[in-house]
């Protein structure tokens, strides 16, 4: 009796090979590091020509998928290929997981980004697993902040300040706010507003081409005029009963564009004003300067001012010391009249200091302390 050969052996061998490849695939899956948790999960399944399947996902339990190529979940686009011969990439946005698998070489590279963390993670080849992690950068939560007031421009001023052609009048706070975008007024600026308490909207104003008049306001200071450098015509600060200081005029350099009689500086009828601090930068007055009827006690604050005309201090009932006038150089006469507390000896000492500094004009005294200086 002759036995026929057994033909089922190759099938068993084939089944054995299939089982072996499945075990290798599961080993590869176990060798891959876990991905960072995120809102979006990318799963890549690739089948090689021998029939084994490798699956990578965020779930703790392994799952075997059909060899249909690469599928990325959580993104609007879905790409499916029956067999990957080159390389395929799935990418999502937000907290993302990007998986690139090359089925030709068996090399897998994963870039996982969660928040602002970037990791270059795993490289697997064949049955040998090596992990190489480089370039891990974590910046947490980074905010790009831009500070204002560090550009060289006056604070709260736009970079493209404008020039107002013509003249302008201020009668209330809304009129002040309307000038916030202007650096220059070519004509006159008249501020006549009994209820006005602030000039804060004028902080960008650098020049008034005509006259600047500030009269009968409720201002206690001139804060808001801190950027003012030049008044082309007359500067008149009159009858502001609560005005107590001139510090905001610290950048004012000139009053009157030419010495032909157009620069007249008059400070009159401000009983709360105690000194002239704030006028230290004033170096040029086109014609005359008159300080009359104020509450000033000294002339502290005056700088070295060239005045192309006369200089008058009159009817200041509290004025007792005028030595700080020494830096002023009027081209014409110096007047001290009707200052009921001013000792004429103090005025004469101030006059001597002015002469030492180059003053060549005369001084006129009349009706000061005890009637000194009477003609």
CATH architecture of the domain with range 162-371: Alpha-Beta Horseshoe (3.80)
What pLDDT shows up at residue 302? Answer: 93
- For the chain, give every domain's residue range: 37-56+65-72+84-133, 162-371
What is the rounded end-to-end Cα distance, in angstroms, of the chain? Answer: 166
Residue the block writes with tokens 């992690």: 133
Cα 211 from chain centroid (whole Å): 33
Tens of pLDDT, residue by residue, the chain (375 residues):
455 554 444 555 455 566 666 666 666 555 555 544 444 444 444 444 444 444 444 444 444 444 444 444 444 444 334 334 343 434 344 444 444 444 334 444 444 443 443 344 333 344 434 444 344 443 333 333 333 333 334 456 878 899 999 999 999 999 999 999 999 999 999 999 998 999 999 999 999 999 999 999 999 999 999 999 999 999 999 999 999 999 999 999 999 975 555 789 999 999 999 999 999 999 999 989 999 999 999 999 999 999 989 999 999 999 999 999 999 999 999 999 999 999 999 999 999 999 999 999 999 999 999 988 865
Q: What are phi and psi of 56, to 5 degrees?
A: -130, 125
Closest CA to 308 of 335, 333, 336: 333
- Global pTM? 0.59
- What distance in Å separates the CA atoms of residue 274 and residue 223, rounded to the nearest whole number? 17
Q: What are phi and psi of 52, to 5 degrees?
A: -85, 155
Reduced to 3 states (helix: H, G, I; strand: E, B; else coil), residue 88 is strand
């Amino acid at each position: 009796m002759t036995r026929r050969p057994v033909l089922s052996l190759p099938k068993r061998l084939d089944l054995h090979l299939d089982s072996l490849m499945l075990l290798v695939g599961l080993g590869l899956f176990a060798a891959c590091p876990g991905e960072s948790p995120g809102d979006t999960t990318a799963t890549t399944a690739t089948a090689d020509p021998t029939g084994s399947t490798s699956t990578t996902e965020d779930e703790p339990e392994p799952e075997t998928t059909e060899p249909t190529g690469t599928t990325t979940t959580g993104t609007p686009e879905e790409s499916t290929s029956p067999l990957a011969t080159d390389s395929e990439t799935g990418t999502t946005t937000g907290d993302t997981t990007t998986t690139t698998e090359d089925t030709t070489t068996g090399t897998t590279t994963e870039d996982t980004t969660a928040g602002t963390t970037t990791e270059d993670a795993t490289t697997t080849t064949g049955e040998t697993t090596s992990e190489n992690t480089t370039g891990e950068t974590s910046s947490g939560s980074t905010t790009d902040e831009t500070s204002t007031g560090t550009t060289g421009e006056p604070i709260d001023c736009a970079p493209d300040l404008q020039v107002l052609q013509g003249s302008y009048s201020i009668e209330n706070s809304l009129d002040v706010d309307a000038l916030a975008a202007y650096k220059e007024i070519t004509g006159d600026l008249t501020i006549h507003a009994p209820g006005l308490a602030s000039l804060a909207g004028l902080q960008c104003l650098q020049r008034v081409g005509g006259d600047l008049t500030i009269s009968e306001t409720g201002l206690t200071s001139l804060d808001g005029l801190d950027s003012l450098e030049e008044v082309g015509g007359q500067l008149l600060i009159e009858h502001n009963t609560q005005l107590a200081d001139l510090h905001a005029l610290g950048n004012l350099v000139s009053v009157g564009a030419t010495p032909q009689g157009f620069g007249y500086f008059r400070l009159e009828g401000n009983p709360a004003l105690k000194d002239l601090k704030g006028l230290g930068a004033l170096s040029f007055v086109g014609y005359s300067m008159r300080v009359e009827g104020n509450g000033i006690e000294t002339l502290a604050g005056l700088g070295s001012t060239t005045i192309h005309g006369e200089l008058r201090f009159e009817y200041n009932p509290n004025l007792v010391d005028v030595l700080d006038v020494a830096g002023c150089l009027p081209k014409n006469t110096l007047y001290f009249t009707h200052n009921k507390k001013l000792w004429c000896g103090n005025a004469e000492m101030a006059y001597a200091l002015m002469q030492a500094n180059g003053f060549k004009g005369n001084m006129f005294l009349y009706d000061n302390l005890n009637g000194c200086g009477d003609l």
